Amino acid sequence: MNDPRLESLLQACPGLRLKTDPADLEHYGRDWTRRWTPAPLGIALPATVEEVQAVLRWASAQKVAVVPSGGRTGLSGGAVAANGELVLSLERMNKALDFNAVDRTLTVQAGMPLEALHNAALEHGLIYPVDFAARGSCTIGGNIATNAGGIRVIRYGNTREWVAGLKVVTVDGEVLELNKGLIKNSSGYDFRQLIVGSEGTLGVIVEATVRLTDPPPASNVMLLALPSFEVLMQVFSAFRERLQLEAFEFFTDLAVRHTTSHGAHYPFEQTYPYYVVTEYASGDEAGEAAAMAAFEHCAEQGWVLDGVISASVEQAKQIWRLREGITEAVARHKPYKNDVSVRISAMPAFLAQTQSLIGDAYPHFEVVWFGHIGDGNLHINVLKPDDTSDADFVGQCEHVTKLLAQVLARYDGSISAEHGIGLVKKPYLSSTRSRAEIALMQGVKRAFDPSGLLNPGKVFDA
């Protein structure tokens, strides 16, 4: 611990756990983007709200920048510390604090992993319904800070819908108790919702009170094979009209090639260009009959070429692995990720235009398409060829993202549907948020963090 600032931090916060080994600086200084070289000052691992307050008071007095850090599964560089910032990791603050059976809320510390939150809810016979593949490593604090989406948004909405209250420490060490679990609260600005999606730029979330709900009815999982992109939204409409959908996700043949080479099982005898995984409430004969009716309708129209329905929990898991395994399976190719959204009604036209743009723009790159198509959210992952340098690759992808951003603007879309802006999307924020909006965001940032110490350089430049 050579840096005298860290000695002074320990004086200000005696007993604080600090890590400064090079391996720790590397580990805690980056997220899943792997584009920036980690270079944090040190890693603070507070165990209590009081310690978080002391760290932030010290950072304010010393003018040291702080990067709030959850599971670092982020895909936009939001938790990257590449400029001598102090990483404030919530990983030791990971416990359930209180269950309220009448309110059906659970209060947890912000560093609790999403999967642990799922399990804690189940202990009370209820569910916390936000879910996605990073569940084992991402934290509820990071989920709230990014307004995470995932595979159940079509049924339950984004993280925002489930946050009933937040305890947040401001940069000068004040504790804000936001909304306090209320369902109705019209008493001025809702700072709780302002913190949701603020990517660690306004305050540090230390506790969250989340709403829980009843477990869903029994469900089944169907894998569909599609002939073309053009029929995707028609298949979606046919299924949505007939079924209570829990999920509706799409991916391409290239995605399947990557997930199967990572151990996923492929159930069809031949390959097809496009696939959908849909999960729907079933459990009775009427549910299954409706699912068959949707399938047969699509097959008659030529929109679906093949299909399989899960016959067991194990088979449902295998089908999901084809979709949920994509991020991990393509990670070694350093994918450049676009995470865009438009209204569902705009999706057919947007898809057609985007497909032609991406086809022309990347004739030599592998492009993996997938996403939460039932929410209007498309993931486009461009894979880096081994013989192209990182800088050339990112340069080309950034050029195409500018063009994509123009298409998005025409469709009133968003440059980030669910991963957040962080560092990766910062140059494109102005393509889908107006100048007036960004100026107001900068004003809000100054009100919360006048010296610009909380996650500086993320989302926008102050």
In the complex, the residues that contact ligand MLT under the rule CB under 6 A are 75, 133, 326-327, 337, 339, 379
Could you say which of 65, 121, 133, 319 contacts ligand FAD (CB under 6 A)?
133
- Give residue number: closest CB to ligand FAD: 142
Could you say which of 29, 149, 307, 457 contacts ligand FAD (CB under 6 A)?
149
Query: CB-wise, 44 or 221, nearer to ligand MLT?
Result: 221
Which of ligand MLT, ligand FAD, none has residue 328 at its interface (CB below 5 to 8 Å by kind)?
ligand FAD
- Beta strand 17-19 with 336-341 is unpaired
- The tokens for 332 are 């070694």
- The tokens for 93 are 């603050």
Which of ligand FAD, ligand MLT, none has residue 379 at its interface (CB below 5 to 8 Å by kind)?
ligand MLT
CB of 32 vs ligand MLT, minimal distance in Å: 8
Q: How far apart are CA 381 and CA 375, in angstroms?
A: 18
**Contact pattern from residue 103 through residue 132 relative to ligand FAD, giving x for each residue in contact according to CB under 6 A and a dash for the rest:** -------x---------------------x
Looking at residue 218, what DSSP letter applies? P
**71 forms part of the interface with ligand FAD (CB under 6 A):** yes
CB of 340 vs ligand MLT, minimal distance in Å: 11
Closest CA to 42 of 75, 70, 64: 64
CB of 200 vs ligand FAD, minimal distance in Å: 3
**40 forms part of the interface with ligand FAD (CB under 6 A):** no
In the chain, what are the helix, strand and coil shares in percent, each to the nearest 5? 40, 20, 40
Q: How far apart are CA 313 and CA 45, in angstroms?
A: 39
Q: Which residues have CB under 8 Å from 40's CB, separation 6+?
A: 25, 28, 29, 67, 81, 84, 85, 86, 87
CB of 322 vs ligand MLT, minimal distance in Å: 12
Residues 201-240 that bind ligand FAD (CB under 6 A): 204-205
Q: Which residues have CB under 8 Å from 442's CB, separation 6+?
A: 460, 462
Name the β-bridge partners of 113. 139
Query: CB-wise, 179 or 414, nearer to ligand MLT?
Result: 414
**CB-based contact 348:414 (threshold 8 Å):** no
Query: CB-wise, 327 or 341, nearer to ligand MLT?
Result: 327
**330 forms part of the interface with ligand FAD (CB under 6 A):** no
Name the β-bridge partners of 280. 220, 245
Which of ligand MLT, ligand FAD, none has residue 112 at its interface (CB below 5 to 8 Å by kind)?
none
Which of ligand FAD, ligand MLT, none has residue 131 at its interface (CB below 5 to 8 Å by kind)?
none
- Beta strand 86-89 with 66-69 is parallel
Q: How far apart are CA 159 and CA 375, in angstroms?
A: 14
CB of 375 vs ligand FAD, minimal distance in Å: 10
Which of ligand MLT, ligand FAD, none has residue 70 at its interface (CB below 5 to 8 Å by kind)?
ligand FAD
Q: How far apart are CA 72 and CA 64, in angstroms?
A: 21
Could you say which of 94, 109, 143, 318 contacts ligand FAD (CB under 6 A)?
143
What three-state secondary structure class fits 458?
coil
Q: How far apart are CA 341 and CA 339, in angstroms?
A: 7
Could you give phi then psi for residue 437, rounded to 5 degrees?
-65, -45
**CB-based contact 408:431 (threshold 8 Å):** yes
CB of 311 vs ligand FAD, minimal distance in Å: 26
CB of 137 vs ligand FAD, minimal distance in Å: 6
Binding site for ligand FAD (CB under 6 A): 31-32, 67-75, 78-79, 90, 110, 132-134, 138-139, 141-143, 145-146, 148-150, 199-200, 204-205, 327-328, 418-419, 422, 455, 458
